[in-house]
Amino acid sequence: MRPVSRCLSPLVALALLVGTARAQEEAAAGNTATVDAMVDGIVGPVTKPFVDFIFAAIPGTDLPWIVLWLITAAAIFTVYFGFVQFRMVPHAIQLVRGHYTSPEAAGEVTHFQALATAVSGTVGLGNIAGVAVAVSIGGPGATFWMILSGLLGMASKFTECTLGVKYRTEYDDGRVSGGPMHYLKKGMAEIGHTTLGKVLAVCFAVCCVLASWGGGNMFQANQAHAQLVVITGGEASFLADRGWITGLVMAVVVFLVIVGGIKSIARVTEKLVPFMGILYLGAALIVILANIDQLGTAFAEIFEGAFTGLGVAGGLVGALIQGLRRATFSNEAGIGSAAIAHSAVQTKHPVTEGFVSMLEPFIDTVIICTATALVITISGVLQQDPATGLYVWDEAAGQIATANNLSGVELTSAAFGSRITWFPYVLGVAVVLFAFSTMISWSYYGVKAWCFLFGDTYVSELIYKVLFCLFVVLGAAVSLGAVLDFSDASLFAMGIFNIVGLYFLMPIVKREMTSYMAKLRAGQIPKYAGTSTAAGKA
């Protein structure tokens, strides 16, 4: 704890100073919110054409083609690998527990560590704010589609993470680098599609850089700021309409970590995030258990709403689109990002990390997102017509009517707050930590993609990192609409190129899987007692 308080306290003091000074100055000038409005005015129009393309609906329907693209891929992988996400979970858990890790490998990256890092990169505001968006626009029925997408997405993760390990690059000094850029380039070359592989890799890297600024950064900063405003007094807060203050503070801390190399901050975050995750789930469980009598109704609404919409505009399709879109945004299955984090694991069989990676969408979507959705549904923050049981649609806001027109993280906060009054404060801390760890992870994914494009030099890295910090400020300052759309679009765009590659490379994954399963059945995969006592020989 010591290093962090030492690093943070001057920053907090600085932030408070800047905040107070600026507030006074603005109160005097009477020009509050001009900075935010200006930023919003610039970002919105610039990103719009890109966003419109990614979310273009399939002609004759309301369904964005990109959502169909991702979910179809997940379904194909599910069938192609024989429902691997249901068959291999027990084995994945054994792998994580170290039952198959040789004691000789002590000191190397374990399955547990690769999974933990990948999970803390994905568990973020998508699980808290994104779910609130899905449920408030698509109704509780969106949860059903979210769970379905999480379960299918496990097969996409399996495919990309197996490839991530198989085609990683190992440098002479022992460093490892992996991810879609590597498997698209090397894997495709191996099957004779060198040029296509290179094109896909470059396109993927471009989208990855954009996503690292968008979903992995701006969205996180934006929602962290929103929650900070809630807990510091809502509209009366000195932070209200001053997103740039939150943004600036977060940007400075991120700068210290990624440019200044102050690892202690990142390390402490990495350690706190799992506890925050458990705390968050615990609170959700308490809310659910305290209202256990409503659980049946909530599930009924989730299932009924999945197919009827329960008065939500767009009905079934509205619920489906929101559910699938937010689930994918949260668990990143098929997007390719996880393959970067998973590829450093120490294993003789790449497919083992594929199995382990399947736990990620499960934890992220099937458990955490569902918990959020249940809390929102149970809490009653979404207004229902008592006579018909249908949700009241707020035309102006484009979502189900809520008290005070809440959306995103504020809605989740209100849902928790209606049952545990002090929880919004804890949520505030959790949200900032989640946002921060997701930013650190994505800055790393982004820098990998950036260096793939522009070369692995100090200057090129520095340019990327400085830009990254600027986007933190931007993200906190602009309104949710513009940020959310751009974040989603950039993230989903990664999925376009990644999945094309996955289709080409899936027979390779299948071969790996078949040969591993045969060895496993024949008892040729050595099993050890467990790694808690493991010690590798020097």
Partner 1 sequence: MASETFVVAYDGTDRTVVDYAARRAEASGAALCLVHVLQWSPYSFLTPQELDERRMRRRQELERAKTALVDPIVAELQASGLTVEGEIRFGSPTTVILEVARDRGACQIFVGRTGKSGIENKIFGSVTLGLAQAATIPTVIVP
Q: Which stretch binds partner 1 (CB under 8 A): 13-21, 47-55, 338-346, 471-479?
A: 338-346
Q: Which of 110, 330, 370, 438 binds partner 1 (CB under 8 A)?
A: 110
Identity of the amino acid at 355 = F
Of 101 and 370, CB closest to partner 1: 101
Return the axis-axis angle of helices 480-521 and 350-357, rounded to nearest 10°.
Answer: 130
Beta-carbon contacts of 129 under 8 Å, excluding residues fewer than 6 positions away, are 219, 223, 226, 408, 409, 412
Identity of the amino acid at 418 = S
Q: Which of 112, 299, 303, 528 binds partner 1 (CB under 8 A)?
A: 112
Of 381 and 494, CB closest to partner 1: 494
Instruction: Give the integer Cα–Cα distance in Å for 259 and 343.
Output: 23
Of 16 and 535, CB closest to partner 1: 535
Q: Which of 1, 173, 523, 524 binds partner 1 (CB under 8 A)?
A: 173
Q: Is residue 109 close enough to count as binding partner 1 by CB under 8 A?
A: yes
Q: What is the CA radius of gyration of the chain?
A: 23
Task: Considering only residues 414 through 473, tell me which ones interact with partner 1, judged by CB under 8 A.
Answer: 440-441, 444-445
Q: Which stretch binds partner 1 (CB under 8 A): 81-89, 339-347, 379-387, 412-420?
A: 339-347
CA angle (477 as vertex; 210, 417 as ends), nearest 5: 105
Q: Is residue 3 close enough to count as binding partner 1 by CB under 8 A?
A: no
Q: Is residue 106 close enough to count as binding partner 1 by CB under 8 A?
A: yes
Backbone angles phi, psi at 393, to 5 degrees: -90, 125
Q: Is residue 281 close enough to count as binding partner 1 by CB under 8 A?
A: no
Instruction: Give the integer Cα–Cα distance in Å for 523 and 1.
Output: 45
Instruction: Give the integer Cα–Cα distance in Å for 18 and 319.
Output: 43
* Distance in Å, CB of 436 to partner 1, minimum: 11
Q: Which stretch binds partner 1 (CB under 8 A): 20-28, 101-109, 361-369, 516-524?
A: 101-109
Q: State both tokens at 149.
A: 């997408």
Instruction: Give the integer Cα–Cα distance in Å for 147 and 65.
Output: 20
Sort strands 176-177 and 393-394 into parallel, antiparallel or unpaired.
unpaired
Of 175 and 521, CB closest to partner 1: 175
Q: Is residue 346 close enough to count as binding partner 1 by CB under 8 A?
A: yes
Binding flags for partner 1, 152-171, as an x/- string (CB under 8 A):
------------------x-
Q: Is residue 340 close enough to count as binding partner 1 by CB under 8 A?
A: yes
Binding residues with partner 1: total (CB under 8 A): 44
Q: Which letter does DSSP use for residue 109 in this model?
A: P
Question: 165 with 347: CB under 8 angstroms?
Answer: yes
Q: Which stretch binds partner 1 (CB under 8 A): 174-182, 186-194, 468-476, 498-506?
A: 174-182
Q: Which stretch binds partner 1 (CB under 8 A): 103-111, 129-137, 298-306, 393-401?
A: 103-111
Instruction: Give the integer Cα–Cα distance in Å for 94 and 83.
Output: 19
Q: Which stretch binds partner 1 (CB under 8 A): 110-118, 138-146, 310-318, 388-396?
A: 110-118
* Distance in Å, CB of 311 to partner 1, minimum: 43
Q: State both tokens at 340.
A: 């970067």
Instruction: Give the integer Cα–Cα distance in Å for 23 and 29.
Output: 10
CA angle (240 as vertex; 234, 244 as ends), nearest 5: 145
Of 521 and 537, CB closest to partner 1: 537
Binding flags for partner 1, 113-152, as an x/- string (CB under 8 A):
xx-xx--xx-------------------------------
Q: Which stretch binds partner 1 (CB under 8 A): 108-116, 208-216, 296-304, 493-501?
A: 108-116
Task: Considering only residues 357 through 396, tell me which ones interact with partner 1, judged by CB under 8 A.
Answer: none
Q: Is residue 352 close enough to count as binding partner 1 by CB under 8 A?
A: no
SS3 386: coil
Instruction: Give the integer Cα–Cα distance in Å for 126 and 134.
Output: 10
Of 118 and 228, CB closest to partner 1: 118
Of 1 and 236, CB closest to partner 1: 1
Instruction: Give the integer Cα–Cα distance in Å for 267 and 113.
Output: 13
* Distance in Å, CB of 522 to partner 1, minimum: 27
Instruction: Give the integer Cα–Cα distance in Å for 283 and 427.
Output: 10
Backbone angles phi, psi at 479, to 5 degrees: -75, 160
Backbone angles phi, psi at 109, to 5 degrees: -70, 125
Report DSSP letters for 190-255, one per residue: HTT-HHHHHHHHHHHHHHHHHHHHIIIIIHHHHHHHHHHHHHTTGGGSTTTT-HHHHHHHHHHHHH
Q: State both tokens at 536.
A: 């590798």
Of 219 and 436, CB closest to partner 1: 436
Instruction: Give the integer Cα–Cα distance in Å for 204 and 15.
Output: 37
Of 62 and 170, CB closest to partner 1: 170
* Distance in Å, CB of 394 to partner 1, minimum: 40
Of 415 and 447, CB closest to partner 1: 447
Task: Considering only residues 257 through 276, tell me which ones interact with partner 1, judged by CB under 8 A.
Answer: 263, 266-267, 270-271, 273-274
Q: Is residue 212 close enough to count as binding partner 1 by CB under 8 A?
A: no
Instruction: Give the integer Cα–Cα distance in Å for 216 and 435.
Output: 8
Q: State both tokens at 28.
A: 């005097």
Provide the binding-site residues for partner 1, judged by CB under 8 A: 98, 101, 106-110, 112-114, 116-117, 120-121, 170, 173-177, 263, 266-267, 270-271, 273-274, 340-341, 344-346, 440-441, 444-445, 531-538
